Copies of this chain bind each other. A is one copy, B any other.
Amino acid sequence: MRKQGLPPLQGEASGEAFSRKPITARELARMLGVSQSAVSRAFTPGASIAADLRERILKYAAEIDYQPNAIASMLSKSRTNIIGIVVSDMQNPFYPGLIEKLSRSLQRIGLQSLLFNITKGSNLEEQLSALRRYNVDAVIVISATILSGSTLSWATEGRPAILINRVIEDTNLSCVACNNIEGARAIADHFHSQGARRVAYVAGLSHTTTNRERQNGFVTRIAELGMTLSAQIEGREYSYHAGRKAALEIAAKKSTDAIFFANDILAIGGIDALREEAGCRIPDDIYVAGFDDIPMADWPHYSLTTFRQPVDEIVRVVVEMIEGDTSALLRAATTIRLSGELIERRSTGVVQKTQ
């Protein structure tokens, strides 16, 4: 084996500092007098290669700053290590936290997140066509809204898809969701035990499964408890301003003891409107509860009673599904329900213990 000195490292001082092409496995191999296959194997855990050869290659690779080209690897392995994340509403503070945790967990196991931020209005298929062309290994859909099941099936065709907080039975889409019915019932029970009897529901986007479940769960439990549903607002969106508007409609009728908003950001808008415009005191005049437990729910001005979504667990389950046998996901879509937790705060008259 002929020994050969290391070629000079590519220095910053070597003239053209820009756009210098990265080294390839072949070049590295030639420099070391081994085959390109060896280099490839050195970087492939479990590949058939002698320990000392691997070490020699890795060591030299580190020196000259060689890294395998991920694109080439994708092409030959037909695996991208990229997960498509479909989002439509980052304004709701619940989502950034979820997305952050999700992408970090994925990164930890070597997967990157390709963001698809879809917009209502314009052509969805066009927006999602990239999702197909990029050969992502799996798709995670965080958008509760906008996308129809069929559009989703089309966009994710051939690769595993997991919907978060959105359940679509009857397709090849897996779902991981909070137990909305449990949560809504917990809110109803809580209202009842706090003495409320005439309660109202403010919907988010009416046609979303999340909304339907929370609504049904709540309304059903209300009836079981013998409480009156004094109002029910059809929602147009999950937003602060929608919450304000809905709250005012309910306040105008003066027949409600407690309002359950489909999520926290609605509830917070509601609280503001009730206080500023309707002159209500909370919780003295009316109770308010939300759903999600976003950071603002804990702000003292709101101190919002809410049903906390198990974000960490949702992330964990989703990542496990992806990490595991994704092809199994394709064959048999799974739906998983996770339990949340009622967080009682001052907006429903619960006295907080000082920290």
Binding site for B on A (CB under 8 A): 18-20, 22, 67-72, 74-75, 80, 82, 85, 87, 90-91, 93, 95-97, 99-100, 103-104, 107, 110, 112-117, 119, 127, 129-130, 132-135, 158, 240, 268, 272, 275-276, 295-296, 299-301, 327, 330-331
Q: In angstroms, how far is the closest chain B Cβ from the Cβ of A108? A: 9
Using known A-B contacts A71-B80, A133-B70, A134-B70, determine if residue A19 contacts B327 with beta carbons closer than 8 Å: yes
Kindly identify which residue among B20, B75, B129 contacts A72, using a CB–CB cutoff of 8 Å. B75
B272 touches A70 (CB 8 A): no
Residue of B nearest to A104 (CB): B117
Kindly identify which residue among B19, B68, B272 contacts A301, using a CB–CB cutoff of 8 Å. B272
CA gap between A336 and B13 in the complex, in Å: 28
B90 touches A119 (CB 8 A): no
User: Which residues on B sit within 8 Å (CB–CB) of A70?
Assistant: 130, 133-135
Residue of B nearest to A272 (CB): B300
A114 touches B117 (CB 8 A): no
B82 touches A90 (CB 8 A): no
Q: In angstroms, how far is the closest chain B Cβ from the Cβ of A20? A: 7
Kindly identify which residue among B20, B67, B100, B103 contacts A129, using a CB–CB cutoff of 8 Å. B67
B91 touches A135 (CB 8 A): no
A112 touches B112 (CB 8 A): no
A295 touches B240 (CB 8 A): yes
Using known A-B contacts A71-B80, A240-B299, A327-B19, determine if residue A117 contacts B132 with beta carbons closer than 8 Å: no
User: Which residues on B sit within 8 Å (CB–CB) of A301?
Assistant: 272, 275-276, 301
Q: In angstroms, how far is the closest chain B Cβ from the Cβ of A18? A: 5
Q: In angstroms, how far is the closest chain B Cβ from the Cβ of A17? A: 8
Using known A-B contacts A107-B127, A330-B18, determine if residue A90 contacts B96 with beta carbons closer than 8 Å: yes
User: Which residues on B sit within 8 Å (CB–CB) of A22?
Assistant: 158
Kindly identify which residue among B115, B135, B268 contacts A115, using a CB–CB cutoff of 8 Å. B115
CA gap between A354 and B114 in the complex, in Å: 43
CA gap between A276 and B133 in the complex, in Å: 53
A100 touches B90 (CB 8 A): yes
B91 touches A100 (CB 8 A): yes
CA gap between A275 and B300 in the complex, in Å: 10
User: Which residues on B sit within 8 Å (CB–CB) of A129?
Assistant: 67
* A-B CB contact pairs (8 Å), 5 listed: A18-B331, A69-B135, A70-B130, A71-B74, A112-B116
User: Which residues on B sit within 8 Å (CB–CB) of A74?
Assistant: 71
Q: In angstroms, how far is the closest chain B Cβ from the Cβ of A109? A: 12
CA gap between A107 and B130 in the complex, in Å: 9
A104 touches B133 (CB 8 A): no
Using known A-B contacts A90-B100, A96-B91, A112-B134, determine if residue A75 contacts B71 with beta carbons closer than 8 Å: yes
Q: In angstroms, how far is the closest chain B Cβ from the Cβ of A329? A: 10
A272 touches B295 (CB 8 A): no
A132 touches B67 (CB 8 A): yes
Q: In angstroms, how far is the closest chain B Cβ from the Cβ of A311? A: 13
CA gap between A85 and B300 in the complex, in Å: 34
B91 touches A19 (CB 8 A): no
Q: In angstroms, how far is the closest chain B Cβ from the Cβ of A326? A: 10
- Of A71, A82, A301, A331, most buried by chain B (CB within 10 Å of CB) is A71
